[in-house]
Structure 1
Amino acid sequence: MKSTKNIITTLFLCLTITFGFAQDDDADVSNIQEFTPSKLLKKGQWDVKFFNSIYTQTERTDSRSKSVTIDRQTFFTNTTEIFTGISENSRINVGAVFQVRSNALGGQGALDVFSFEDNGNDRRSGLTTIAPAIRVQPFRSIANFSFTTSFIIPVFEDAPDTVSDDVFSFLDQRSFAWETKFFFDHTFGGNKWQVFTEVDFKYNFGEKSSEADGSQENVSERFANNSLFLPLSAFLSYFPTSKSTVFVNTQQAFLLDLGNDFAQNSTSLGFGGKYQLTDILNIEASFGKIVRGNNFQGLGQTFSLGLRAIF
């Protein structure tokens, strides 16, 4: 609990410092207003996003929806996205997404993820996935609708959990995956308000966890193989100035069984903010909480801090 309070305090300070700089400015549209995920880059422009999140949990549901207490599990994820515009009409972007993870399991402190150790058991870390991606604005007449499709490739070593201590070793999902995200936003109220929606379809390939060879493969990392992950997200943003925004968000997520004999669903709520530090760089901080779930769904909190540069 102390570790979680420390993270909340750090996030609150980041938000306070960020919006402490927010002052009245001119009516020019900033990057945080213009370059939502729905908006694509011009030819030759670059978009680099460095996003860090910590998810920590001491509760999960049982096989139904009843909450039960578990030893703390904490998962740190760094996601680096790099995209560039390649078309004269600003309707095609290409890029890649990289993920680095560090997990602390079996009751360790939430901040232990920053040790970046990997003992093959209750501490795991490393570069986990690489995903080449393309972004497309399919309709010229709908500039605020686009989609991103990517192919996720696991690059970490496949190793079994060989320690019998009731801690299931886990680094990341051990599967190739094809993910497509659809984005749409609408700005109203004199550029003071914005609604943003996102629908994701992520199909996880691979053998069933029940068919994995436990002496050669990590069974727990295959729980989502042969399934479709379908999160539906909505954000409502308010812009106190053209360079700052605060938002609230909600997500309903489904893991649909397509052959792995396992399915889940969950509901989460969150809030956060962004601030345009310079013409190129902006900062984002957010908090999210999973408020309900079904079938061994974690009921934890996510703390996120990110930087984005557009040039």
Structure 2
Amino acid sequence: MKRIILTLLAITTISFSGFSQEAGDEDQGKSNIQTYTPSKLLKKGQWDIKFFNSLYTQTEQTDAGSKSQKIARQNFFTNTTEIYTGVSDNARINIGLVFQVRSNTYGGQGAFSVFDFDNNKTDSRSGFTTIAPSIRVQPFANVPNFSFTSSVYFAIFGDEPNAAYLDKKSTFWETKFFFDKTFGGGDWQIFTEADFGFNFGEKSSEADAATENVSERFANNSLFLPLSAFLSYFPSDKSTLFINAQQAFLIDLGNDFSQRYTQLGFGGKYQLTRSLNLEASFGKIVTGNNFQGLGQTFSLGVRALF
């Protein structure tokens, strides 16, 4: 598994570099960091590939309320690859595919232990976890900076009873609404996002512990509702710095479990070529409720537009 995943990462990165160089030779337009925000859709025939990696690590979580308590370090690595293309002449419909690879370690292991991609099931799990067909739509022609993305994630990993947690064993239907507004002579931008994610599946209390992983069904029959805002500053047309805040709720719709958390963060983006962007960010969960982790997320992304 480790060799397969590392090979995939290398091939994807090399492919991005090749695509971006070709696009850079042909496209002499404006910086895509400013033009292609999450609210902006692709023209027909354009492609957008994003390779996003995040490492979340925690040594604290809340108790059943909001009081913090120490725990042995836990680490969660997620690679999300998104591939979209424009299919409409008016640049108002995009279709795509999203898939994820995860690696988790437990029991006080170091944060970088996730990159071993071990899978001993006791204190480490890794593998391909989800795949999702996706569609992006700009519903109003006169509001080009408003759009939504709707995706259905299917869990493709096998059940491992009594094993460490890998991912949610859910069918997850998520719709994200995006809106951005540029101001200050083009130097500033506010971006907002509202997500509605429904987790469908068997209740954890009804799972068969002999054949199913009960812990991976904790979110089934719930609504995940994160609300996010980003304030960006553009020092140049090839770079941006941003701060962000997110308030998220896991709302019980029948599984007798709910959570909430508040996260703050900052980051930046830089355009390496006409088509290739890099993004780095840091996030910290500052408050939570009901066994919510209070950790940090370190993220690095590569995006190719051509």
- TM-score with structure 1 length normalisation? 0.89
Q: Give the secondary-structure state (helix, strand or coil) at the position aligned to 1:114.
A: helix
Corresponding residue for 2:200? 205
Match of 2:185 among 174, 187, 190: 190
Corresponding residue for 1:41? 42
Cα deviation for residue 207 of structure 1 reads 1.1
Deviations 1:26-73 (A, max 9, x none): xx6311111111000000000000000000000000000000000100
Match of 1:223 among 218, 225, 248: 218
Deviations 1:244-284 (A, max 9, x none): 00000000000000000000000000000000000010000
Q: Give the secondary-structure state (helix, strand or coil) at the position aligned to 1:272.
A: strand
Distance 1:79 1:121 in 2: 24
Aligned amino acid, residue 190 of structure 2: V
For the aligned residue pairs, the C-alpha RMSD in angstroms reads 1.0
Aligned-residue identity in percent: 72
Cα deviation for residue 190 of structure 1 reads 1.0
Distance 1:32 1:101 in 2: 28
Cα deviation for residue 161 of structure 1 reads 1.3
Distance 1:218 1:105 in 2: 16
Corresponding residue for 1:248? 243
Q: Give the secondary-structure state (helix, strand or coil) at the position aligned to 2:301.
A: strand
Aligned amino acid, residue 210 of structure 1: S
Moved over 2 A (4+): none
Match of 1:306 among 294, 297, 301: 301
Q: Where do residues 127-166 of structure 1 align in structure 2 (5 Å cutoff)?
A: 127-161=128-162
Aligned amino acid, residue 73 of structure 1: Q
Cα deviation for residue 123 of structure 1 reads 0.6
Q: Give the secondary-structure state (helix, strand or coil) at the position aligned to 2:48.
A: strand
Corresponding residue for 1:123? 124
Distance 1:257 1:137 in 2: 30
Q: Give the secondary-structure state (helix, strand or coil) at the position aligned to 2:113.
A: helix
- TM-score with structure 2 length normalisation? 0.90
1:177 matched to 2:172? The reply is yes
Listed as ranges, the gaps of 5+ residues in structure 2 are 1-28
Aligned amino acid, residue 183 of structure 1: F
Aligned amino acid, residue 54 of structure 1: L
Distance 2:300 2:96 in 1: 22
Q: Give the secondary-structure state (helix, strand or coil) at the position aligned to 2:198.
A: strand
Q: Give the secondary-structure state (helix, strand or coil) at the position aligned to 2:107.
A: coil
Aligned amino acid, residue 191 of structure 1: G
Distance 2:237 2:255 in 1: 47
Cα deviation for residue 121 of structure 1 reads 1.9
Distance 1:190 1:242 in 2: 12
Deviations 1:287-311 (A, max 9, x none): 0000000000000000000000000
